[in-house]
Structures are given as C-alpha cells and as structure tokens.
Amino acid sequence: METHLWHGQVDEAIAALADWDVPHVKNFLDYLERHRCRIPDYQAMQSEKITIGSAAVEATIKQIGRRIKISGAQWNRDNLAQVLKHRCAYLNLALA
C-alpha cells in the first residue's frame, strides 16, 4: 500500500484494499477516491529534487506575513497590488 501511494499509483492502492470490509478501510478508500487527483508521485518528485515537505512553504508564508504587518510600514503605491496579492495568498493559506 505504502509503495503504491509513494509512486502515485492510486488505482493499485484502491485495488489492493477493494475486498476489505472494515469501516476504517472503507473510509480510507473513500478518501483516496475523493483526493486521487491531489495525490502526487512522491518518488518522481524526490528523484527530480523537488521538495515534498511543507516547511519551506510555511516559512515563506510566515515571512511574508511578518513583512506585511510591520508596524508603521508605508507601502509604495506602485507596489501596492503586489503586496495585496501576497497578503491574500497569506490569508488564504492561514485559513485553510
């Protein structure tokens, strides 16, 4: 199961559990069906040196949040749209 999901083989993982008649397994199968398009091929990502952890993303979001909230900061009118875009992205991820 773990190997199938590590390689992004959702259909194979579902097939391996299809005969199980256990509530937790059925819940997991429902999860796999609902989120199949979001389950990446971690092996391929790792082999291409793509970060699969969320720490780097979360650190960047926190840094943007701190910069936006600087007390007394004044933003250049020309940069306002970009600052607001970053702020919206920060809030969307913080609320997710």
What six digits make up the tokens of 1?
């199961």
Digit-coded pLDDT (tens) for 49-80? 877 777 777 787 788 777 777 777 776 778 87
Closest CA to 89 of 49, 47, 60, 46: 60
The tens digit of pLDDT for each residue in 18-40 reads: 999 999 999 999 999 999 988 88
The token duo for 16 is 């391996």
What is the predicted pLDDT for the residue at 61?
75
pTM over 0.85? The answer is no
For residue 29 the two structure tokens come to: 């199968």
